[in-house]
Structure 1
Amino acid sequence: MRSVFGLAVALAAFWMANSGYLKPMLLGFGVVSIVIVIAIVKRMEAHDGERFPLFVPSLRLPGYLVWMIGQIIASNIDVAKRVWLGRKSLSPTILTVRAEAKSDVGKVLYANSITMTPGTVTLFVHDDTFEVHALTEAGAEELGRGVMGRKVAALEQG
């Protein structure tokens, strides 16, 4: 029950942050939307087996988000540089990386973090391994070192 209340509060805050209007009709649409989302989530929990942790119980999350933003900025700069340098600066590579995260949520976070970083895309997810396309061999080597995977796994540990 507590998770349903937490989800409703988070959705209401998200709705208000994006809407900003306090008109009765829009608030009504917000309430209806929240009820529909909660019903879908409750139905998913009944079949999924793994409950999605609404609030990641980790003090490491803010640090991970700051680190991830830094990675996105650095990768954007690298991709822009390679666009200016032309084709000879590219060395497309496909590699397989192992997910250190144990939960499905952790694996999804890791796969999405890879894809959010410009120059890398998660192509396939096979249990604990991901097939990833990297724009350059250097990007593939950096991903292969596993820093991102360890940071995501650390979020699960709290």
Structure 2
Amino acid sequence: MLRTASLALFLFAFWLLLSGHYTPWLVGAGLVISILLALAGRRLGFADEEGHPVGRLLAGLLYWPWLAREIVKSSLSVTRIILDPKLPISPQLFHTKVSTRTPVGIATYANSITLTPGTITAGVDREQGRFLVHALTKAGADDVEAGEMDRRVRRFEGGAE
């Protein structure tokens, strides 16, 4: 029930953020709709740990700034490559081990690789515990294979270092 209440609160806050209208009628309607949607989510099964991972919020506050910094660093690197007349790329397609086990951890790791410019998660093999990744450069491939992102996502999902 606590997860359902949390979902209703998040939905209501999101509605308030996007609405921009704060009359009593609209705020009340937004609150009622948020509660009804959270109850429907509970009944339909998407207000679970995977659908609403509220328990990961504090861990996310540590992970997301690090990911944002990595995205900016990679963006600058890819921009330099694009602007270089020689276009110094060395595309790599490789498999990398995945130590995360929960659906939230696997999705976070795969999406984090794809969000980082110059790398894309092309495939997920849960049985073998690996991703197929495409990197624009050897340095990008080396960064993924170094495992720092994997370690941080494992910490995010609640695993050991």
> What's 1:89 paired with?
88
1:133 is the counterpart of 2:134:
yes
Q: Which has the higher contact order (CA 8 A, sep 6+)?
A: 1
Cα distance, 1:28–1:60 mapped onto 2, change above 3 Å? closer
Cα distance, 1:21–1:27 mapped onto 2, change above 3 Å? farther
- Give structure 2 stretches of 5+ with no counterpart: none
| Cα distance per residue 1:78-130 (max 9 Å; x no partner) | 01101011464111111111221121111101111111111111111110211
> What's 1:28 paired with?
29
Q: TM-score, normalised by structure 2?
A: 0.83
Aligned-pair Cα RMSD in Å: 2.5
Structure 1 position 26, deviation (Å): 7.0
Q: How does 1:1-158 map to 2 (within 5 A)?
A: 1-23=1-23, 24-25=25-26, 28=29, 31-32=32-33, 35-36=36-37, 38-40=39-41, 42-45=43-46, 51-52=49-50, 54-57=53-56, 59-86=58-85, 88-127=87-126, 128-157=129-158
Contact 1:123 1:130 in 2 (8 A): yes
Counterpart secondary structure, 1:123:
strand
Moved more, 148-157 or 30-39: 30-39
- Give structure 1 stretches of 5+ with no counterpart: none
Identity of aligned residues (%): 33
Contact 1:92 1:137 in 2 (8 A): yes
Structure 1 position 30, deviation (Å): 6.4
Q: TM-score, normalised by structure 1?
A: 0.84
* Length, aligned pairs only: 155
